[in-house]
Amino acid sequence: RFSILSLRVQCVLRRATVPSLVVILGATGTGKSKLAIEIGKRLQGEIISADSMQVRGFAA
């Protein structure tokens, strides 16, 4: 199932003329990391994990 999706992403990114950013979002335990690793290997890209990162805004 991930192979088909990662192949589709690979085809789209190979046609891109500018550097691309792939963002993978989803619920816990759905295979996001596994998919990211597979796509990263196929595209020789980098993986940045932000699982524990929290973004906070502060009112002025």
Look up residue 11 and give its amino acid.
C
59 in a structural domain: no
The answer as to whether 54 is a domain residue is no
DSSP assignment string, 3-42: HHHHHHHHHHHHH-SS---------TTSSHHHHHHHHHHH
pLDDT, average across residues 54-58: 59
pLDDT at 55: 57
Quick check: 52 pLDDT over 70?
Answer: no
Q: Output the pLDDT for position 27.
A: 85
- 5, 33, 44, 39 alpha-carbon torsion, rounded to 10°: 0
Residue 28 pLDDT exceeds 70: yes
Token reading at 55: 């973004």
Residue 39 falls inside a structural domain = yes
Domain annotation covers residue 34: yes
Domain count, the chain: 1
Residues 6+ apart with CB under 8 A from 9: 22, 39, 43
User: Is the model's pLDDT at 23 over the cut of 80?
Assistant: yes
pTM above 0.75, yes or no: no
Does some domain include residue 11?
yes
